[in-house]
Amino acid sequence: MCIRVFIMNGGAFAISKIVHQLNEEIRDKEIRLISDVGEQLGIMSSDEALRIAEERGLDLVKISPQAVPPVCKLMNYGKFRFEQSKKEKEARKNQHVVEIKEIRMSPGIDVGDFNTKLKNAVKFLTEGNRVKVSVRFRGREMAHTEIGRDLLTKFAESCSEVANMDKAAKLEGRNMSMFLSPKAGK
């Protein structure tokens, strides 16, 4: 039995279970048999197929149980499972999890601080992560939300060579935020 597991934030849960019936577990009256090299050996009883598998020193594995008659193949099941786990490990190694990094500013941000935040955003975007840029309004700043919108627009224009704007600036409560994602091919 082979179980695929997806790990996310320290927790794990099974995506799918791949269960193959082997040798004596196959109780179908007749099956379609495929040899280890891929040639069709025809339709026969499961006992006869099991005898052929034992003669060749291989396992009888049901690969397509929903077919009529079910399809079984002669193979070295241990070697098959080892190769499958190697492929899954390789796929996990090449997988990149995209994180959302957040940059917070206030409407009265100074030029030096703005440039520092911009530099960090560009770094996050070149690493392939999405960036949420937000402006927090306090007290009377809520009366001048257009300053925050202009600030976010200027920020997006400054990042335009490495990023696309996913969501435009939107006011939610006391925060105005927008999302930037890295351009494809970067």
| Domain closes at, from 93, 117, 147 | 93
pLDDT given for residue 185 in this prediction:
64
Instruction: Give the pLDDT confidence score for residue 18 in this predicted structure.
Output: 65
**Domain shared by 80 and 13, yes or no:** yes
Number of domains observed in the structure of the chain: 2
Q: What's 78's domain CATH number?
A: 3.10.20.80
Instruction: Give dist(CA 49, CA 58) in Å, integer.
Output: 11
| Structural domain harbouring 69 | 2-93
Chain segment 5-27, per-residue pLDDT in tens: 444 444 444 444 567 778 888 88
Contacting residues for 135 by C-beta, under 8 A, at least 6 apart: 104, 105, 106, 107, 148, 151, 152, 175, 176, 177
* pLDDT, average across residues 77-84: 88
What pLDDT, on the 0 to 100 scale, is given for residue 20?
A: 75
Domain limit, last residue, from 66, 93, 120: 93
72 close to 61: Cβ distance less than 8 angstroms? yes
Q: For 146, what's the count of Cα atoms within 13 Å in the CB-facing half-sphere?
A: 0
Vertex 46: Cα angle to 40 and 49 (nearest 5): 50
| Same-domain status, 106 and 82 | no
Based on the fold, state whether residues 104 and 160 are members of the same structural domain.
Answer: yes
pLDDT for residue 4 is more than 50: no
Average pLDDT for 107-124: 92
Residues 51 and 76 both lie in one domain: yes
CA gap 146, 158 in Å, rounded:
18
pLDDT for the residue 16 = 47
Among 93, 118, 151, the domain boundary falls at 93
* DSSP per-residue letters across 63-104: EETTSSSPEEEEE-HHHHHHHHHHHHHHHHHT--PPPEEEEE
Q: Same domain for 47 and 122?
A: no
